[in-house]
Protein backbone atom coordinates (compact mmCIF):
# COMPACT_ATOMS: atom_id res chain seq x y z
CA UNK A 1 0.00 0.00 0.00
CA UNK A 2 2.85 2.41 0.82
CA UNK A 3 4.49 1.69 -2.54
CA UNK A 4 1.29 2.51 -4.41
CA UNK A 5 0.90 5.82 -2.60
CA UNK A 6 4.54 6.72 -3.30
CA UNK A 7 4.15 6.03 -7.01
CA UNK A 8 1.00 8.15 -7.03
CA UNK A 9 2.83 11.04 -5.39
CA UNK A 10 5.78 10.84 -7.82
CA UNK A 11 3.41 10.72 -10.79
CA UNK A 12 1.75 13.90 -9.61
CA UNK A 13 5.02 15.83 -9.92
CA UNK A 14 4.59 15.99 -13.69
CA UNK A 15 0.81 16.56 -13.69
CA UNK A 16 -1.20 19.79 -13.38
CA UNK A 17 -2.04 20.79 -9.79
CA UNK A 18 -5.82 20.53 -10.34
CA UNK A 19 -5.51 17.00 -11.69
CA UNK A 20 -3.28 15.97 -8.78
CA UNK A 21 -5.86 17.32 -6.36
CA UNK A 22 -8.54 15.24 -8.08
CA UNK A 23 -6.42 12.08 -7.88
CA UNK A 24 -5.69 12.71 -4.18
CA UNK A 25 -9.40 13.32 -3.46
CA UNK A 26 -10.53 10.12 -5.16
CA UNK A 27 -7.70 8.13 -3.58
CA UNK A 28 -8.69 9.13 -0.03
CA UNK A 29 -12.48 8.73 -0.39
CA UNK A 30 -14.25 7.89 1.82
CA UNK A 31 -12.61 9.41 4.87
CA UNK A 32 -15.66 9.68 7.15
CA UNK A 33 -19.15 8.19 7.65
CA UNK A 34 -21.62 8.43 4.76
CA UNK A 35 -25.21 9.48 5.46
CA UNK A 36 -27.94 7.52 3.69
CA UNK A 37 -31.43 9.02 3.59
CA UNK A 38 -34.37 6.62 3.70
CA UNK A 39 -37.61 8.36 2.79
CA UNK A 40 -39.82 6.05 4.85
CA UNK A 41 -40.08 5.18 8.53
CA UNK A 42 -37.86 2.94 10.62
CA UNK A 43 -38.97 -0.70 10.57
CA UNK A 44 -40.39 -0.51 7.06
CA UNK A 45 -39.28 -2.56 4.07
CA UNK A 46 -36.66 -0.11 2.80
CA UNK A 47 -35.25 0.50 6.25
CA UNK A 48 -35.01 -3.21 7.10
CA UNK A 49 -33.39 -4.08 3.76
CA UNK A 50 -30.84 -1.31 4.17
CA UNK A 51 -29.91 -2.41 7.69
CA UNK A 52 -29.34 -5.96 6.43
CA UNK A 53 -27.21 -4.76 3.51
CA UNK A 54 -25.10 -2.02 5.04
CA UNK A 55 -22.71 -4.09 7.21
CA UNK A 56 -21.43 -5.84 4.06
CA UNK A 57 -21.07 -2.52 2.20
CA UNK A 58 -19.35 -0.90 5.17
CA UNK A 59 -16.71 -3.64 5.07
CA UNK A 60 -15.97 -2.65 1.47
CA UNK A 61 -15.92 1.10 2.09
CA UNK A 62 -14.19 1.06 5.45
CA UNK A 63 -16.55 3.66 6.94
CA UNK A 64 -20.04 3.53 8.51
CA UNK A 65 -23.21 4.14 6.51
CA UNK A 66 -25.47 6.14 8.81
CA UNK A 67 -29.20 5.78 8.13
CA UNK A 68 -31.34 8.92 8.36
CA UNK A 69 -35.10 8.22 8.20
CA UNK A 70 -37.07 11.08 6.66
CA UNK A 71 -40.66 9.85 6.17
CA UNK A 72 -43.49 11.97 4.81
CA UNK A 73 -44.97 13.30 1.60
CA UNK A 74 -45.04 9.88 -0.03
CA UNK A 75 -41.24 9.83 0.15
CA UNK A 76 -40.63 13.38 -1.00
CA UNK A 77 -39.48 14.75 2.35
CA UNK A 78 -36.43 12.52 2.09
CA UNK A 79 -35.91 12.81 -1.67
CA UNK A 80 -36.04 16.61 -1.49
CA UNK A 81 -33.32 16.50 1.18
CA UNK A 82 -31.25 14.19 -1.01
CA UNK A 83 -31.62 16.47 -4.03
CA UNK A 84 -30.57 19.48 -1.96
CA UNK A 85 -27.55 17.71 -0.46
CA UNK A 86 -23.95 18.23 -1.48
CA UNK A 87 -22.65 15.95 -4.23
CA UNK A 88 -19.40 15.36 -2.32
CA UNK A 89 -20.15 11.64 -1.94
CA UNK A 90 -21.10 11.78 1.72
CA UNK A 91 -24.90 11.80 1.28
CA UNK A 92 -26.71 8.98 -0.50
CA UNK A 93 -30.33 7.90 -0.48
CA UNK A 94 -32.70 5.11 -1.33
CA UNK A 95 -35.03 5.91 -4.22
CA UNK A 96 -38.32 4.01 -4.30
CA UNK A 97 -40.29 3.59 -7.47
CA UNK A 98 -42.94 4.14 -8.64
CA UNK A 99 -43.38 6.67 -5.76
CA UNK A 100 -40.40 8.74 -6.87
CA UNK A 101 -41.54 8.82 -10.50
CA UNK A 102 -45.20 9.60 -9.82
CA UNK A 103 -44.03 12.35 -7.46
CA UNK A 104 -42.18 14.29 -10.14
CA UNK A 105 -44.56 13.46 -12.99
CA UNK A 106 -47.72 14.54 -11.14
CA UNK A 107 -48.44 18.03 -12.52
CA UNK A 108 -50.05 19.31 -9.32
CA UNK A 109 -46.69 19.34 -7.53
CA UNK A 110 -44.81 21.18 -10.31
CA UNK A 111 -41.53 19.51 -9.39
CA UNK A 112 -38.73 20.33 -11.80
CA UNK A 113 -37.08 16.95 -11.20
CA UNK A 114 -36.44 13.78 -13.21
CA UNK A 115 -34.05 10.83 -13.31
CA UNK A 116 -31.24 13.07 -14.57
CA UNK A 117 -31.13 14.76 -11.15
CA UNK A 118 -29.79 11.56 -9.57
CA UNK A 119 -26.62 9.53 -10.03
CA UNK A 120 -27.81 5.93 -9.99
CA UNK A 121 -25.70 3.51 -7.94
CA UNK A 122 -27.60 0.21 -7.87
CA UNK A 123 -31.05 -1.28 -7.53
CA UNK A 124 -31.33 -3.42 -4.41
CA UNK A 125 -34.83 -4.93 -4.17
CA UNK A 126 -37.85 -5.52 -6.40
CA UNK A 127 -40.85 -6.36 -4.21
CA UNK A 128 -44.22 -7.45 -5.65
CA UNK A 129 -47.50 -6.26 -4.22
CA UNK A 130 -49.98 -8.21 -2.11
CA UNK A 131 -53.48 -7.77 -0.72
CA UNK A 132 -53.95 -8.79 2.90
CA UNK A 133 -56.68 -8.73 5.54
CA UNK A 134 -56.91 -8.91 9.32
CA UNK A 135 -56.51 -12.45 10.69
CA UNK A 136 -59.90 -12.18 12.43
CA UNK A 137 -61.78 -10.77 9.43
CA UNK A 138 -65.21 -12.40 9.04
CA UNK A 139 -66.75 -10.43 6.14
CA UNK A 140 -64.43 -12.03 3.57
CA UNK A 141 -61.73 -14.67 3.70
CA UNK A 142 -60.40 -14.82 0.11
CA UNK A 143 -60.00 -12.56 -2.90
CA UNK A 144 -63.31 -13.50 -4.51
CA UNK A 145 -65.24 -12.72 -1.35
CA UNK A 146 -63.33 -9.46 -0.89
CA UNK A 147 -64.02 -8.25 -4.43
CA UNK A 148 -67.70 -9.13 -4.18
CA UNK A 149 -68.03 -7.35 -0.84
CA UNK A 150 -66.08 -4.30 -2.02
CA UNK A 151 -68.30 -3.94 -5.07
CA UNK A 152 -71.22 -3.17 -2.77
CA UNK A 153 -69.47 -1.60 0.20
CA UNK A 154 -66.85 1.10 0.70
CA UNK A 155 -63.71 -0.28 2.32
CA UNK A 156 -60.66 1.55 3.66
CA UNK A 157 -57.34 0.37 2.22
CA UNK A 158 -53.94 1.29 3.63
CA UNK A 159 -51.06 2.38 1.37
CA UNK A 160 -47.56 3.77 1.88
CA UNK A 161 -48.45 7.04 0.16
CA UNK A 162 -50.40 8.76 -2.58
CA UNK A 163 -49.55 7.58 -6.12
CA UNK A 164 -47.25 4.84 -4.86
CA UNK A 165 -47.41 1.21 -5.97
CA UNK A 166 -50.00 0.32 -3.30
CA UNK A 167 -52.25 3.25 -4.21
CA UNK A 168 -51.98 2.55 -7.94
CA UNK A 169 -52.86 -1.13 -7.39
CA UNK A 170 -55.92 -0.12 -5.39
CA UNK A 171 -57.01 2.31 -8.13
CA UNK A 172 -56.57 -0.43 -10.74
CA UNK A 173 -58.82 -2.75 -8.76
CA UNK A 174 -61.47 -0.02 -8.54
CA UNK A 175 -61.14 0.68 -12.25
CA UNK A 176 -61.19 -2.89 -13.55
CA UNK A 177 -63.50 -4.56 -11.05
CA UNK A 178 -65.77 -1.78 -9.70
CA UNK A 179 -64.53 -2.20 -6.14
CA UNK A 180 -64.90 0.72 -3.73
CA UNK A 181 -61.56 0.90 -1.96
CA UNK A 182 -60.76 4.26 -0.34
CA UNK A 183 -57.07 4.93 0.41
CA UNK A 184 -55.66 5.55 3.87
CA UNK A 185 -52.11 6.78 3.27
CA UNK A 186 -49.42 6.07 5.88
CA UNK A 187 -45.80 7.09 6.32
CA UNK A 188 -44.41 3.61 5.65
CA UNK A 189 -44.88 -0.12 5.86
CA UNK A 190 -44.47 -0.36 9.65
CA UNK A 191 -47.41 2.00 10.22
CA UNK A 192 -49.31 0.33 7.40
CA UNK A 193 -48.90 -3.16 8.84
CA UNK A 194 -49.94 -1.93 12.30
CA UNK A 195 -53.11 -0.47 10.78
CA UNK A 196 -54.31 -3.77 9.29
CA UNK A 197 -53.23 -5.89 12.25
CA UNK A 198 -54.92 -3.48 14.63
CA UNK A 199 -58.16 -3.48 12.66
CA UNK A 200 -57.92 0.24 11.84
CA UNK A 201 -58.40 -0.35 8.10
CA UNK A 202 -60.38 -2.96 6.18
CA UNK A 203 -57.76 -4.05 3.65
CA UNK A 204 -54.01 -3.68 3.21
CA UNK A 205 -52.34 -3.09 -0.17
CA UNK A 206 -48.64 -3.63 0.45
CA UNK A 207 -45.72 -5.85 -0.60
CA UNK A 208 -44.42 -9.36 -0.05
CA UNK A 209 -41.43 -8.12 1.94
CA UNK A 210 -43.32 -6.40 4.73
CA UNK A 211 -46.19 -8.88 5.18
CA UNK A 212 -44.91 -12.38 4.41
CA UNK A 213 -43.59 -13.05 7.90
CA UNK A 214 -46.79 -11.81 9.54
CA UNK A 215 -48.73 -14.04 7.13
CA UNK A 216 -46.59 -17.08 7.94
CA UNK A 217 -46.90 -16.35 11.67
CA UNK A 218 -50.69 -16.00 11.44
CA UNK A 219 -50.73 -12.31 12.39
CA UNK A 220 -52.53 -11.34 9.17
CA UNK A 221 -53.70 -13.10 6.03
CA UNK A 222 -52.42 -12.44 2.52
CA UNK A 223 -55.16 -13.40 0.05
CA UNK A 224 -53.52 -12.50 -3.28
CA UNK A 225 -50.19 -11.51 -4.81
CA UNK A 226 -50.11 -8.97 -7.64
CA UNK A 227 -47.32 -10.66 -9.61
CA UNK A 228 -46.89 -12.67 -12.83
CA UNK A 229 -46.34 -15.83 -10.76
CA UNK A 230 -46.50 -17.06 -7.18
CA UNK A 231 -43.76 -16.02 -4.78
CA UNK A 232 -41.33 -18.54 -3.31
CA UNK A 233 -41.73 -16.67 -0.03
CA UNK A 234 -45.51 -17.26 0.14
CA UNK A 235 -46.19 -20.19 -2.23
CA UNK A 236 -49.65 -20.81 -0.74
CA UNK A 237 -50.92 -17.41 -1.95
CA UNK A 238 -52.48 -17.30 -5.44
CA UNK A 239 -51.84 -14.55 -7.97
CA UNK A 240 -54.68 -12.25 -8.96
CA UNK A 241 -54.23 -13.50 -12.52
CA UNK A 242 -54.85 -17.15 -11.65
CA UNK A 243 -57.94 -16.13 -9.68
CA UNK A 244 -59.36 -14.40 -12.74
CA UNK A 245 -58.37 -10.80 -12.00
CA UNK A 246 -56.00 -9.76 -14.77
CA UNK A 247 -54.53 -6.31 -15.38
CA UNK A 248 -53.31 -5.64 -11.84
CA UNK A 249 -49.56 -6.24 -11.50
CA UNK A 250 -47.81 -4.20 -8.83
CA UNK A 251 -44.28 -3.89 -7.47
CA UNK A 252 -41.92 -1.54 -5.68
CA UNK A 253 -38.25 -1.19 -6.63
CA UNK A 254 -35.72 0.19 -4.15
CA UNK A 255 -32.26 1.33 -5.09
CA UNK A 256 -29.47 3.64 -4.03
CA UNK A 257 -28.60 6.96 -5.64
CA UNK A 258 -26.50 10.05 -5.04
CA UNK A 259 -27.12 13.72 -5.89
CA UNK A 260 -26.23 14.68 -9.46
CA UNK A 261 -22.61 15.60 -10.08
CA UNK A 262 -20.81 13.23 -7.75
CA UNK A 263 -17.20 12.59 -8.77
CA UNK A 264 -17.10 9.69 -11.30
CA UNK A 265 -14.36 7.92 -9.36
CA UNK A 266 -16.46 8.09 -6.19
CA UNK A 267 -19.50 6.80 -8.05
CA UNK A 268 -17.55 3.86 -9.43
CA UNK A 269 -16.19 3.02 -5.99
CA UNK A 270 -19.69 3.16 -4.47
CA UNK A 271 -21.13 0.97 -7.22
CA UNK A 272 -18.45 -1.65 -6.68
CA UNK A 273 -18.94 -1.57 -2.90
CA UNK A 274 -22.73 -1.90 -3.11
CA UNK A 275 -22.61 -4.68 -5.71
CA UNK A 276 -20.12 -6.64 -3.61
CA UNK A 277 -22.25 -6.06 -0.52
CA UNK A 278 -25.43 -7.19 -2.26
CA UNK A 279 -23.70 -10.40 -3.37
CA UNK A 280 -22.55 -11.20 0.17
CA UNK A 281 -23.96 -14.64 1.15
CA UNK A 282 -24.98 -13.51 4.64
CA UNK A 283 -26.88 -10.56 3.19
CA UNK A 284 -28.64 -12.76 0.63
CA UNK A 285 -29.61 -15.30 3.30
CA UNK A 286 -31.04 -12.66 5.64
CA UNK A 287 -32.94 -10.96 2.81
CA UNK A 288 -34.48 -14.30 1.80
CA UNK A 289 -35.44 -14.91 5.42
CA UNK A 290 -37.27 -11.57 5.42
CA UNK A 291 -38.94 -12.28 2.07
CA UNK A 292 -37.12 -9.47 0.28
CA UNK A 293 -36.13 -10.28 -3.31
CA UNK A 294 -32.65 -8.98 -4.15
CA UNK A 295 -32.58 -7.69 -7.73
CA UNK A 296 -29.16 -6.19 -8.52
CA UNK A 297 -29.10 -3.76 -11.44
CA UNK A 298 -26.53 -1.08 -12.20
CA UNK A 299 -25.57 1.26 -14.99
CA UNK A 300 -27.62 1.10 -18.18
CA UNK A 301 -29.71 -1.83 -16.89
CA UNK A 302 -30.85 0.14 -13.84
CA UNK A 303 -31.48 3.24 -15.93
CA UNK A 304 -33.54 1.25 -18.45
CA UNK A 305 -35.60 -0.28 -15.66
CA UNK A 306 -36.51 3.17 -14.31
CA UNK A 307 -37.21 4.61 -17.76
CA UNK A 308 -39.62 1.72 -18.42
CA UNK A 309 -41.33 2.54 -15.12
CA UNK A 310 -41.65 6.15 -16.28
CA UNK A 311 -43.47 4.97 -19.40
CA UNK A 312 -45.74 2.78 -17.30
CA UNK A 313 -46.63 5.70 -15.02
CA UNK A 314 -47.24 7.95 -18.02
CA UNK A 315 -49.83 5.48 -19.31
CA UNK A 316 -51.69 5.71 -15.97
CA UNK A 317 -52.18 9.48 -16.12
CA UNK A 318 -55.95 9.27 -16.63
CA UNK A 319 -56.37 6.74 -13.84
CA UNK A 320 -54.36 8.98 -11.51
CA UNK A 321 -56.44 12.01 -12.49
CA UNK A 322 -53.65 13.95 -14.21
> In angstroms, rounded to a whole number, what is the distance separating the alpha carbons of residues 67 and 157?
29
The pLDDT assigned to 165 comes to: 94
- Kindly indicate the confidence band of residue 16, based on its pLDDT and cuts at 50, 70 and 90: low
Angle of CA points 207, 259, 279, to nearest 5° = 50
Q: At residue 302, does pLDDT exceed 90?
A: yes
Give one DSSP letter per residue of 113-137, joined into a string.
--GGGEEEEEEEEEEEEEEEEETT-
- What does residue 64 show for φ and ψ, rounded to 5 degrees? -70, 150
> In angstroms, rounded to a whole number, what is the distance separating the alpha carbons of residues 235 and 78?
34
Cβ atoms < 10 Å from Cβ of 114? 12
- Kindly indicate the confidence band of residue 189, based on its pLDDT and cuts at 50, 70 and 90: confident
pTM: 0.82
Angle between helices 2-12 and 17-28 (to 10 degrees): 160
SS3 (DSSP) at 36: strand
The stretch 220-231 carries a mean pLDDT of 97
The pLDDT assigned to 129 comes to: 97
For the domain made up of 34-127+252-314, the CATH class stated in words is alpha beta
Q: At residue 50, does pLDDT exceed 90?
A: yes
Q: At residue 166, does pLDDT exceed 70?
A: yes
Give one DSSP letter per residue of 157-214, joined into a string.
EEESSTTSHHHHHHHHHHHHH---EEEEE-SSHHHHHHHHHTTSSSEEEEEHHHHHHH
Q: Answer positive or negative: Cα dihedral of 157, 189, 121, 293.
A: negative
Domain ranges of the chain: 1-31, 34-127+252-314, 130-251
> In angstroms, rounded to a whole number, what is the distance separating the alpha carbons of residues 212 and 288?
11
The pLDDT assigned to 17 comes to: 52
Q: At residue 198, does pLDDT exceed 80?
A: yes
pLDDT tens digits along 100-157: 999 999 999 999 999 999 999 999 999 999 999 999 999 999 999 999 999 999 999 9
Four-way CATH pick for 130-251: 1.25.40.10, 3.40.190.10, 2.60.60.20, 3.40.50.620? 3.40.190.10
Q: At residue 256, does pLDDT exceed 90?
A: yes
CA distances from 51 to 57, 150, 191 (A): 10, 37, 18
The pLDDT assigned to 170 comes to: 96
The pLDDT assigned to 162 comes to: 87
pLDDT tens digits along 54-77: 999 999 999 999 999 999 888 999
The pLDDT assigned to 161 comes to: 85
Query: What value does the mean pLDDT of the chain take?
Result: 91
Q: Which residue has the higher pLDDT, 8 or 113?
A: 113
Percent share of the chain, pLDDT over 70: 92
Are the C-beta atoms of residues 25 and 18 closer than 8 Å to each other? no
Q: Answer positive or negative: Cα dihedral of 113, 76, 89, 309.
A: negative
Q: ω into residue 98 within 30 of 0, thus cis?
A: yes
- Kindly indicate the confidence band of residue 6, based on its pLDDT and cuts at 50, 70 and 90: very low
Q: At residue 285, does pLDDT exceed 80?
A: yes
Percent share of the chain, pLDDT over 90: 82
Q: At residue 188, does pLDDT exceed 70?
A: yes
Q: At residue 5, does pLDDT exceed 80?
A: no
Amino acid sequence: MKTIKTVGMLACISLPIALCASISWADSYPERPISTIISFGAGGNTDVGARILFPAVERELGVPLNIINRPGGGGWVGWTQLLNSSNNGYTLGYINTPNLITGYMDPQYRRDVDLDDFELIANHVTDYGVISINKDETRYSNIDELVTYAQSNTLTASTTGANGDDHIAMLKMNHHYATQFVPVHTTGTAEQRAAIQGGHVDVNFSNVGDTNMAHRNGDLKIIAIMAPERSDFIPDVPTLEEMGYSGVISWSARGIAAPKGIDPAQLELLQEAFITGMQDPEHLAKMAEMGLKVDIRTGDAYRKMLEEEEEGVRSLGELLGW
